[in-house]
């Protein structure tokens, strides 16, 4: 089966208490559960790896960058100091019957784990596919590293496919539509959304 595998760890986890680290990883777990609702069979496995790491396997590789940004937004909305590195790789792989990525094997899982170890200090997100996907991921990483809590909340509400109008996001967040627009604009959502839609459309057409 073809997967997109996302492997991550919490940035500066040594500065967090054990309870703070658990809360951060719980936020990521909740985000992955939300991603599973985007499309039937989208998330095929998710698990914590070691003390501050996590991994999930996505059955629709075309949505991997959108999913990675959603996870980052889910974590950042819990606090400005919280962030996760994310290494994305696509390819074949095999999950065990219990769908635990810790027992998975295959090129996608291996490449994602190795890429996480190679991500440089100034970058926090990378794509193993290279080319335009890697470039798009790097630019999205640069923009999203600076998200404030308010911006992350708005991005978290706006990133899922098929999201409704801004008025619905405003109602969901309990803020005005103007505040939603300001947060999304400051977070770079118009450019990020266009980039995601263009890459996803081109890949679906391929």
Confidence check: pLDDT of 90 > 80? yes
pLDDT at 206 over 60: no
pLDDT digits (tens, 9 = 90+) for 116-129: 999 987 899 999 99
In the chain the domains, ranked by start, together with CATH numbers, are: 2-205 (3.30.70.1230)
Predicted local distance difference test score (pLDDT) of residue 105:
84
CA 130 to chain centroid: 18
How high is the pLDDT of residue 204?
Answer: 62
When pLDDT is cut at 50, 70 and 90, the band that residue 205 belongs to is: low
100: pLDDT strictly greater than 80: no
């Amino acid at each position: 089966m073809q997967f997109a595998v996302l492997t991550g760890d919490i940035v500066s986890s040594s500065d967090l208490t054990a309870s703070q680290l658990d809360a951060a990883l719980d936020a990521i777990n909740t985000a992955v559960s939300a991603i599973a609702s985007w499309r039937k069979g989208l998330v095929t496995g998710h698990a914590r790896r070691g003390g501050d790491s996590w991994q999930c396997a996505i059955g629709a590789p075309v949505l991997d960058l959108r999913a990675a940004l959603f996870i980052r937004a889910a974590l950042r909305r819990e606090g400005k100091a919280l962030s996760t590195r994310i290494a994305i790789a696509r390819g074949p792989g095999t999950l065990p019957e219990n769908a635990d990525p810790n027992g998975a094997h295959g090129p996608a899982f291996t490449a994602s784990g190795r890429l996480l170890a190679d991500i440089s200090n100034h970058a926090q997100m990378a794509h193993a596919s290279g080319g335009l996907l890697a470039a798009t991921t790097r630019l999205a990483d640069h923009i999203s590293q600076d998200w404030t809590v308010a911006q992350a909340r708005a991005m978290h509400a706006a990133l899922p496919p098929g999201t409704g109008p801004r008025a619905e996001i405003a109602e969901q967040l309990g803020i005005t539509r103007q505040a939603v627009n300001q947060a999304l604009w400051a977070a770079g959502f118009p450019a990020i959304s266009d980039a995601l839609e263009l890459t996803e459309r081109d890949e679906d057409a391929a």
